[in-house]
Amino acid sequence: MYESFYRLNEKPFSLTPDPKFLYLSKQHQGALDHMLYGIRQREGFMTIVGDVGTGKTTLCRCLLDRLERNIQVALILNPMLSDMDLLRTCVHDLGVVRSSAHTEKAVAANASGDEIAIDPESLATPIEEEEETEPDMGWINHASKKELIDALNAFLLAQHSAGGSTVLIIDEAQNLSLDVMEQLRILSNLETEKEKLLQIIFVGQLELNDKLKLPELKQLNQRISIRYEITPLSPDETVQYINHRVLVAGAGSRVTFTRPALKEVYNYSKGYPRLINLVCDRALLAGYNAQVDSIDRPQVKQGIKSLMGEEDKSYFRNYYLTNRMPVFASALFFLAGLAFFTVSEFDVDWRSEGKKILSRLGVNEIPILNVPTSRVSLNEKSLEVGKPNPPIAKPVKEVSPPKPVQTAAVDPKSVSLDKESGKVDAVNSPAESGKDKASGEAAGDYRIQLYSLQDSAEAKEEVRKLAEEGFNAYLRQAASGEQEWYMVYVGPFKEAKSARIHVDALKFSGRNPILLSVAKSN
């Protein structure tokens, strides 16, 4: 349809295995060279494997054109045959005629099977003669296996005596049954003392390698002397492949593929020639409909959509997921790894850095940074089953953190317990100096409650820890029923701003402070 528009002599991307369109990439040239070498050196068995659509059949057609005239070839494209059908097909394609009575007697083995006496001149017509009548091949359908093998053996000997050779090429060899492959191994026994009379080439998909590794085919696998695997085309080879086929189809054509179009073709085909032919053919049709000489990415995408049909439109989604998403994911992993490397490399001590920052703000000490909790609770040790709980003071309303103020540390040695009265002496901050302590209330309007403990020693230890961290801590005894409690406080503070700074610092240290407002007496 589009040939005349683009000035092409024929369709450049037909799926038929036309050898003139074969682009000999590095892989295809290597496979062809290996087959020619094996045939000329009479290597016996050879295997050429490749994935679906890599151009194996076209390569076999090209091989037939490259062989000399004295080489007889049988190409079997349908491997789904029995051993007898395969033998008949091979004899028929090679044009083996039925041996005369003299020839049959000559090729028949003696009773011991030690030797075979052959008179090559008494066999079929020499292969150099081109003008000959069409032989009658009807005998093949009624011949026994022995008759077929004897006739084939006589033919192979005649070929060898005339300086020629015989090649059997089996396409789609991965579909051969085990019995047929064993029959082919037996046919390879037709040989002279120095050379193989029959060269057999297995051409198939990658599954052929796995099949040859079966224990039943161990003997056959050991006889394979040449192995070669055809891989898909690279991006550069894909571009050369497309240009080659367009040039062969019409040297004066005006169609061109842009670089984005060629890249899109490779992304879809992954270098498989069959898929390249399909998408390029549809792209040319889309370009013809649009009446454009240059095939660009939109035409290629339209061709891909027409190939997939309505039932499969996930190609573009899968394409972006497999080609674009890994790029973003790799970038994220790179940034995360870079951040981790930077932190580990410089070995940042966040505790020390936090102390430095707070000291600049006027706070003496700040422990490890923790996420503060908004739930107000007492120390877990103060909540025991079967015992009365201490009175809980009502916390004041939260206020925004003000600027820090400098506070003085308390000497933990000043905390003492009066053994005679059983009371705990309150340790007051310097702000309480000169105030009346007999009233039992520390000077100041705000204080922070931290712990409610039943053990005075434990309470004193907490006061000591707080004092070491730079907080003004003190104890106070309280009674709830018959239970004595020792309350640990920080303060007092005359202003809520100063109290809030200490509340935040205590929260950062992992504690649960409660800000209390002290009622003033008239």
What's the order of all strands across the beta sheet hosting 446-453? 473-480, 483-493, 446-453, 514-517
Structural domain contains residue 43:
yes
pLDDT reading at 368 higher than 70: no
Structural domain contains residue 288:
no
Structural domain contains residue 317:
no
Residue at a domain's end among 203, 230, 257: 230
Q: What is the pLDDT of residue 177?
A: 92
Q: What is the pLDDT of residue 352?
A: 63
* Residue 61 in tokens: 């057609």
Give 518 or 436, the one with higher predicted confidence.
Answer: 518
pLDDT digits (tens, 9 = 90+) for 189-219: 888 888 889 999 999 999 999 999 999 999 9
Structural domain contains residue 259:
no
Q: What is the pLDDT of residue 348?
A: 52
For the whole prediction, is pTM greater than 0.85? no
Contact of 466 with 473, CB cutoff 8 Å: yes
- Of 6-20, 225-239, 379-393, 508-522, give the lowest mean pLDDT range: 379-393
In our burial notation (b when 16+ CB lie closer than 10 A, e otherwise), range 223-256 reads ebebebebebbeeebbbebbebbbebbbeebebe
Q: What is the pLDDT of residue 212?
A: 94
- Determine the Cα–Cα distance for residues 108 and 329; give it in Å rounded to an integer: 73
The mean pLDDT value for 290-296 works out to 92
The mean pLDDT value for 150-168 works out to 92
- Determine the Cα–Cα distance for residues 221 and 169; give it in Å rounded to an integer: 17
The mean pLDDT value for 249-273 works out to 92
- Determine the Cα–Cα distance for residues 214 and 225; give it in Å rounded to an integer: 17
- Determine the Cα–Cα distance for residues 56 and 46; give it in Å rounded to an integer: 14
Q: How confident is the model at residue 260 (pLDDT cuts 50, 70, 90)?
A: very high
Preceding peptide of 326 cis, ω within 30°: no
Structural domain contains residue 123:
yes
pLDDT reading at 165 higher than 70: yes
Residue at a domain's end among 230, 255, 289: 230
Q: What is the pLDDT of residue 496?
A: 84
Residue 419: Cβ-neighbour burial (10 angstroms; 0-12, 13-18, 19+): exposed
Contact of 58 with 17, CB cutoff 8 Å: yes
Q: How confident is the model at residue 440 (pLDDT cuts 50, 70, 90)?
A: very low
Place of tokens 């491997």: 79
Contact of 189 with 155, CB cutoff 8 Å: no
Q: Please name the residue ranges forming H helices in 162-226.
A: 178-187, 207-212, 218-223
pLDDT reading at 248 higher than 90: yes
Q: Which residues contact 391 (CB under 8 A, 6 or more apart)?
A: 478, 480
3-state SS, 398-459, equals: CCCCCCCCCCCCCCHHHCCECCCCCCECCCCCHHHCCCCCCCCCCCCCEEEEEEEECCHHHH
- Structure letter (DSSP) for residue 196: B
Q: What is the pLDDT of residue 347?
A: 53
3-state SS, 354-411, equals: HHHHHHHHCCCCCCCCCCCCCCCCCCHHHCCCCCCCCCCCCCCCCCCCCCCCCCCCCC
Structural domain contains residue 9:
no
Q: What is the pLDDT of residue 519?
A: 59
- Determine the Cα–Cα distance for residues 364 and 251; give it in Å rounded to an integer: 87
Return the percentage of the chain with pLDDT > 90, whole number.
40
* Residue 263 in tokens: 């890249």
Q: Are strands 473-480 and 483-493 parallel, antiparallel or unpaired?
A: antiparallel
pLDDT reading at 254 higher than 80: yes
Q: How confident is the model at residue 323 (pLDDT cuts 50, 70, 90)?
A: low
What are the backbone dihedrals phi and psi of residue 395, each rounded to the nearest 5 degrees, phi first?
Answer: -75, 155
CATH code, 397: 3.30.70.1070
pLDDT digits (tens, 9 = 90+) for 93-113: 998 888 654 344 444 444 344
- Determine the Cα–Cα distance for residues 25 and 129; give it in Å rounded to an integer: 37
**What is the chain's mean pLDDT, rounded?**
76
Q: Which residues pair with 479 in a beta bridge?
A: 484
Q: Is 250 helix (H, G, I), strand (E, B) or coil?
A: coil
The whole domain housing 452 covers 375-517
* Residue 404 in tokens: 């820090």
Handedness of CA 69, 71, 72, 75 (dihedral sign): negative
CATH code, 83: 3.40.50.300
Q: What is the pLDDT of residue 232?
A: 95
Selection from 43-47, 495-499, 508-512, 516-520 with the highest mean pLDDT: 43-47
- Of 75-84, 107-116, 188-197, 341-350, give the lowest mean pLDDT range: 107-116
- Structure letter (DSSP) for residue 151: H
Q: What is the pLDDT of residue 283?
A: 94
Structural domain contains residue 129:
yes
Give 338 or 235, the one with higher predicted confidence.
Answer: 235
The mean pLDDT value for 446-464 works out to 86
- Of 1-10, 312-321, 391-400, 441-450, give the lowest mean pLDDT range: 391-400
Contact of 476 with 375, CB cutoff 8 Å: no
Q: How confident is the model at residue 475 (pLDDT cuts 50, 70, 90)?
A: confident
pLDDT reading at 54 higher than 90: yes
User: What is the number of structural domains in the chain?
Assistant: 2
Contact of 230 with 197, CB cutoff 8 Å: no
Q: Is 256 helix (H, G, I), strand (E, B) or coil?
A: strand
Q: What is the dihedral of CA 312, 314, 315, 319, to 10 degrees?
A: -170
Residue at a domain's end among 161, 196, 230: 230
* Residue 272 in tokens: 């498989």
* Residue 219 in tokens: 């003997």
The mean pLDDT value for 64-73 works out to 92
Structural domain contains residue 330:
no
